[in-house]
Structure 1
Amino acid sequence: AGLDHRLIRRGTESTRLLSGGCICCNMREDLIAVLKEILNEYERGETVLDRIVIETTGLADPAPILFSVLMDPLLSQRYYVSNVVCCLDAVNGSLHLRNHSESLRQIVAADTVVITKTDMADAAAVAEMHARLCQLNPAASVRESAYGGIDPSAVFGTHEASARKNEARMAELPPPQGMHESTVRSMSIRFDTALDWISFGLWLSLLLNTHGEKMLRVKGIVDVGEQGPIVINGVQHVIHPPQHLPDWCGEERSSQIVFIMKDLQPHDIMASLTAFQNILGATPVIEEINANPYGNVHEDVRAETHHK
């Protein structure tokens, strides 16, 4: 089940969740259909369309997505590919580049690479990563981001530049590849009632301490019995400060945790949760297990529109 769409709090964006597969593998036809649907709404005068942002899973290969859009006779004439943006974690980025071929393909395909979490890494490590990225993709613009901040103009290109890029990209793109070969799995868990926040924090810390290198990502929205939820976000051994939201913003009041892991079985996590169930104060329920490594990774297509 998707999670990120539950965290969007800007009301002017229209978000469409593509679920049931990886957008760069078996879901490219769904992406094309959504892009054409948005275009039809724009041409009927139902929306004023500013831009479309396709946010993929962190393990997606950009090349097949670009291939699908640019080789479609209609979309290639009506849309410009403004920018391919890749974010690389300043803390764990070198490890990702070493262990995941998808990360390297993202860097090579990117127009802009943003080194994130520079506030959590020392200056020498950031400088070394900056130099490495320039070697991997000399044509890319490399930016740095601390505390999640970045100038939006750094990631959005101009129409004239984009028009030229469309033609160049079509000549450079390789043919789309098949499914990923990976031991990555995703799993979504919900809880039936509010969680004890201190106990949950202890459990999550122990989980990442034990399985940190195998836990590529854990993110969630947690009901702790207060007016608003708490948003959690962890990458490998690192847990970022939780964010307390003022309210549920119309969302269902329920805790949902999504795990993306490599070489780790879902039953290992469930066994750990079951052992902590009494002090957590809630029963974990598996909402979805993705046995096919990329079979149910969720993607967002966000269209910045203004409905008439």
Structure 2
Amino acid sequence: MSQAPHTLIPVTILTGFLGSGKTTLLNRILKENHGLKIAVIENEFGEEGVDNDLLLQNEQENIVEMNNGCLCCTVRGDLVRILGDMAARKKKGEIKFDRVVIETTGMADPGPVAQTFFVDDVVAESYLLDAVITVVDAKHGMQQLDEHREIQQQVGFADRILLSKTDLASADEVQTLKKRLAKMNARAEQMISDHGNAPVAKLLDVKGFNLNSILDIAPDFLDEDKHTHNDEIQSFVFKSTKPFDGQKFEEFMGSVTQVYGPDMLRYKGILSIKGSDRRALFQGVHMLMGLDWGRKWDPADKKESKIVFIGRKLPKEFITQGLELCLAR
């Protein structure tokens, strides 16, 4: 008799600068009666953690059960070890949880945490990275983006951007910030999350790291804007109606990631490849990239390759020209 397929545990990385409202959002998620057993891993470095009044403390195990059945674990050690232990205990039936939310410290670059789910075999066997959610303070966001590289990286990695404290900012301030964030990350949907009021359903099962998910790009992010900022993190889109030569594309992108990988936060695309009637689905994080085949092109489809790049001071012209040379002749 064949075994039932192994179901991977979905993981959400919750990030955002100090004081942006991550913990408020997390407390709301944990208080809500959504029927989900969520295991929260807090990557703590002296920040104020989850509201302790909510917790039923179990000192011995360092895993805390919330009063609605969720679990909470404070990590000061090795994230890989904690994830491995939790998966093993779940398998034995010692603890129950449906999904994991990892709250990173406010000064953290979420990149290394995201890479854990692709690099470590033990983690990859049990978990599936669903999305990076970034909380941005609408009142202080512009200033923080000017002054702190970490928040720029958090924005660049995001699949969803939640704007908090919009009630403390003017409509113009919020709009200006939204435009700036869209230029930095053209593919992250933006939502309002004042006082932790965010639609929980829209934060889970985002499938931001799923090759088959739709490639969302903010349609007007390239519109000229009088508020220009020389942000380190920028996004740009490559488009072509000509198909790629598959081998040339893989060789070129392989060389690009070798040189610029550390500065390439996220890149993702749908490609038309010469000789194939299927869409090629492509994405990467830093130097790790993958290409897979998606569904067939419909006769009504416009066969257009579209790739969005998000990174730190990437050589847009070099990458664009290189991709042009990879198009089939």
Q: TM-score, normalised by structure 2?
A: 0.46
Highest RCO, 1 vs 2 (Cα 8 Å, sep ≥ 6): 1
Q: Flag the structure with higher helix content.
A: 1
Q: TM-score, normalised by structure 1?
A: 0.49
